[in-house]
Amino acid sequence: MTISTPILLPPRRPVDTIMATRRADSFGKRSIKSASKEFALRLAVSMTDLTTLEGKDSPEKVRSLCRKAMSPAPALDRALRAAGKQPVPSVAAICVYPSLVAVAKETLAGSSVKIASVATGFPSGQFPLDIRLDDVRRAVGDGADEIDMVINRGAFLAGQYALVADEIARVKEACGPAHLKVILETGELETLDSVRYASDLAIHAALSAGPAADGEIFIKTSTGKVTPAATMPVVLVMLEAIRDAHRDTGIRIGMKPAGGIRTAKAAIAQLVMVHETLGPDWLHPHLFRFGASVLLNDLLRQIARLSRGGYAARDDFAEA
């Protein structure tokens, strides 16, 4: 399909900032029993995307990241098996630059870990559109299962919504069989009203590119290069956009909070918010991810604590 007609823009849905903030804060105050906590910790590991997006990235660094993605904590796994427990699950995906997708594909062959690649002029989103689309096609051709695109925030903040929507739809089309995550860079959008409209616009535009299955389209808070990013009120507003889109279309859109989630406690609060806003169907890596590599080691420490009855040292697990 080639997008040739203008995309109809979604209506604006104003956000009550005070109530959104109050409700978001409440999710971090839930009491979680030990059995539920261990389940949540393991689930969070399985939802994590490990990322390396630095100028010094090399094939060996990506191979190391892939090995950790497939087996996050081998020593802990041995202790868990000895105690009659299941090992720690592999993470959901690794995320790399397009030039390193082929390395990741070779290393991850035979595993369940997906390959995501940032494209479309990451992190600014301001490259010429034909270059961004070629970037997407090249990454998918090299084996990327998922594309993380960034919207042009300058165009969005200037009110050029039709332009932003058209670019999202054309990127979705260029993804072919790969799934698309649309990064809003919420730290630059200034208000929850803008976050809500950017969420609605991204979902609407991606769906306009053609039929989509559950989990084929995600919205994502941040590149990880801008703060604030995945704050609880921001994520709540984005979840509510997903909820309303599901009511309107029947399609389950995925969500990926990224940036600033560093502790297991914060991750569990996010999972509680997802469960109470969208329901249990979204508590699966197919529909919810954490873009927070630093988070993984705290999740592993907490799993070790529940298993051993004491905290692991910070250097017990290799940095992602």
Could you list the beta-strand ranges (E) of 89-203. 93-96, 114-118, 146-150, 179-183
Give the whole-angstrom CA distance, residue 233 versus residue 18. Answer: 10
Q: Are 151 and 198 in contact (CB under 8 A)?
A: yes
Angle between helices 293-308 and 264-278 (to 10 degrees): 100
Q: How far apart are the first and last CA of the chain?
A: 39
Query: Strands (DSSP E) along 161-311, which ranges?
Result: 179-183, 217-220, 254-256
Residue 195 contacts residue 238 (beta carbons within 8 Å)? yes
Among this protein's residues, is 148 annotated catalytic?
A: yes
Phi, psi of 58 (to 5 degrees): -135, 165
Q: Is 220 noted as a catalytic residue in this protein? A: yes
Q: Phi first, then psi: give them for residue 146, nearest 5 degrees.
A: -140, 145
Residue carrying structure tokens 């529909």: 287
Number of C-beta neighbours around residue 131 at 10 A? 11
Q: Is omega for the bond preceding 123 within 30 degrees of 0, making it cis?
A: yes
Catalytic, out of 68, 114, 172, 220: 220
259, 226 Cβ separation under 8 angstroms: yes
Nearest of 190, 191, 167, 127 to residue 135 by alpha carbon: 127
Which of 49, 135, 145, 148 is catalytic? The answer is 148
Indicate which residue of 49, 135, 256, 298 is catalytic: 256
Catalytic residues: 148, 220, 256
